[in-house]
Structure 1
Amino acid sequence: MKIDTSPREPSRRRQDVLRRLDEEIDIWVASADADGLPCLVALWFVWHDDSVWLATRATNPTGRNLRDGRRARLALGDTRDVVLVDGDVETYAQRDVPAAAAEAFLAKTGWDPRRDSPSYAFFRVRPRAVQAWHEQHELPGRHLMKDGVWLA
């Protein structure tokens, strides 16, 4: 494939990232256990209150990794339209999740984990770093957030 577009400005990339976080429903979630064994799964998510909210069983490898490791890497897109989010994770039992976050998750996905198995938990991922690029020519300006602060 030939690159025939100009690189996007950082502000445009940020707008594109935020639009995708609002519109897309699935996100890749990468985590690791204490021994460094990686785990990669796709989960439904909602972008709410400047965070990515996920729900999965607290007892499965991803739930344990998110709870114990308190860090995750999230990814949207394919190899020609990439968004990577590195973030800090907070875990919420069903009874402790903020109602607004759970309701936003329900509104977007049509599923309410609070009414499912008690083993489900919510995980808030607060972005610390965000990268976004289309193709190789956008790699130099891919860093849009560092240390939790938007650069654009």
Structure 2
Amino acid sequence: MSSVPLPAPRDLARRRADTVDRLFGGFQMWLATGSDGHGAHLIPVAYVWDDSTLTTATFRRSRTISNLRARPKARLAIGDTADVIMIDARATLLGVPDIDAASAEAFAKVSTDPRNAPDMFLYVRLVPERILAWNSLAEFSGRTLMLKGSWLDTPVD
């Protein structure tokens, strides 16, 4: 069995910059929700990032929406297991008429446009409370970039 050399760990500033670049440049993530009666639920969704929140949408009658109504918290994952961003976020549900035009337009560019079936969809606004990022085991220590909604200036783990 051959071993793959690990990339050199990035400092906190580089990890944060790379994370923000990936959030702006990407549009697909895994969204995990849960509630006492249902346990964990994981779905792939499109998203848009506006430099402080992620916006996605899903079916109004979905288990995801039911979970978020019961417990408005979610965990998001972007990337693969060797280069990942994980985000713990607070969720707010918004009806299609209640979303701002800029978010609706941006989301329509990366996914089905909920405005075409407003009775079927809800938008989900996700405000990060904690962001972790690492691209290998070499970066596992110091992986927390945001805590309690604020970007960190020094590593904590």
Same fold (TM over 0.5): yes
Aligned length: 151
Alignment partner, residue 132 of structure 2: 131
3-state SS of 1:77 partner: strand
- The Cα of 1:56 is off from its aligned counterpart by 0.2
Structure 2 unmatched runs, 5+: none
Percent sequence identity is 34
Cα distance, 1:52–1:34 mapped onto 2, change above 3 Å: same
* 1:142 correspondence with 2:143: yes
3-state SS of 1:76 partner: strand
Assess if the C-alpha contact under 8 Å between 1:51 and 1:127 holds in 2.
yes
Structure 1 unmatched runs, 5+: none
Alignment partner, residue 43 of structure 1: 45
Assess if the C-alpha contact under 8 Å between 1:81 and 1:132 holds in 2.
yes
- The Cα of 1:21 is off from its aligned counterpart by 1.0
* 1:65 correspondence with 2:67: yes
Runs of 4+ with >6 A deviation: none
Q: Distance in 1 between matches of 2:41 and 2:34?
A: 6
- The Cα of 1:134 is off from its aligned counterpart by 1.1
Alignment partner, residue 112 of structure 1: 113
- Tell me the TM-score normalized by structure 2: 0.90
- Tell me the TM-score normalized by structure 1: 0.92
Alignment partner, residue 12 of structure 1: 14
3-state SS of 2:141 partner: helix
